Structure 1
Amino acid sequence: MNDILFNIPKRNNKNEKSHEKLQIDFYEQKLNFEIDPADLHEALKNNKNVIVIDARSAQSFTQEHIPGAINIPHRTMNTETTRHLDKTALVVTYCDGIGCNASTKGALNMVKLGFTVKELIGGIAWWKADGFTTEGNAEPVQSKIGCDC
């Protein structure tokens, strides 16, 4: 197992540039498709053209969501349910957290519908962990992170 984890190509003059370029390309691509809670909060605070979509169930959204978010469960994303959205805006999808893939499914659906999309790293769980507020009907409770999509 350690061989897999630490199988990092040795650098030499011949492959150093290509190895560095691979790493740069990887991390640039990662940043193109993900956003963290602090960057999303900053974008919302500065009134950037961002649409935040909670890709979980309507029940979960009603209980708690990121302020300003709209709810379009990933299973219902289609031309009709997204017709009213600005295609020039950046769409950010989120779900419960790292144990849930509704935001990934939602991001894929929205890209297929012609939107520019980023996925919120850590979902609403990391949004709250970073100290940002939420809205909804839920009483604050300590619970495990789960997928409620």
Structure 2
Amino acid sequence: MIAETAAEASLASAVTSQNPVLRVAPAAPADAAAHFAASLAFHTDVSDVAAALATAAGTGTDPGFVLVDTRSTEAWEQGHIPGAVHLPTAQIPQLADAFLDRAVPVVVHCWGPGCNGATRAAYALATRGYQVKEMLGGMEYWIREGFAYETAEGPEQRAADPLTAPVGTGDCGC
């Protein structure tokens, strides 16, 4: 039995070194748990934000956070999430205290996963004493997952992109 275990270990080592996914071995479970717990403390996603906002609207309660759109005024006018506060990243040092309460968590977003504007905004807010999370996916995934948004012409909503969200259910099940 020990020889088989050694042989299996040798085979696993050979596979690991040739497998691009496993060239660097996965973290120990405890280390992975700590990393992912920390990630969840820093990030949320559009589905969770949409669900929290919908629940709050449906019950007439506060969602427990402020959603902040950190994009430019031109981007905001092109379309924004209903109920979001517009606070461009560059204006955080001057305006954050006028728009936000340090006792209320802030969720920031920008255009999408190819933009780090929300990360810069989260950093600027955190260094000023705000509790902050970044909404992964940003405005791009808000729209791609089929959630409503507002434009100068009024409310709009597109069908969910079947490659990013389940069609017709609104709940990805994750």
Deviation of 1:120 (Å): 0.7
Equivalent position of 2:42 in the other structure: 33
Confirm or deny: 8 A CA contact 1:43 1:50 kept in the other structure: no
Q: Of the two, which has the highest radius of gyration?
A: 2
Given the alignment, which residue of 71, 76, 82 partners 1:56? 71
Deviation of 1:27 (Å): 0.8
Residues 90-138 of structure 1 deviation map (CA, whole Å, 9 limit, x = unaligned): 1111111011111110010010111111101110111112211001226
Note the residue ranges of structure 1 that are not aligned, 5 or more in a row: 11-17, 143-149
What number of residue pairs does the alignment pair up? Answer: 133
User: Where does 1:8-87 land on structure 2 (aligned, <5 Å)?
Assistant: 8-9=24-25, 19-45=28-54, 46=56, 47-78=62-93, 80-84=94-98, 85-87=100-102
Deviation of 1:72 (Å): 1.1
Residues 18-54 of structure 1 deviation map (CA, whole Å, 9 limit, x = unaligned): 8110110111111111111111112222222211111
Q: Distance in 2 between matches of 1:31 and 1:134?
A: 25
RMSD: 2.4
Q: What is the TM-score when the length of structure 1 is the normalising length? A: 0.80
SS in 1 for 2:74: helix
Confirm or deny: 8 A CA contact 1:93 1:107 kept in the other structure: yes
2:25 matches 1:6: no
Farther-moved stretch of structure 1 (35-44 vs 24-33) = 35-44
Equivalent position of 1:130 in the other structure: 145
SS in 1 for 2:28: helix
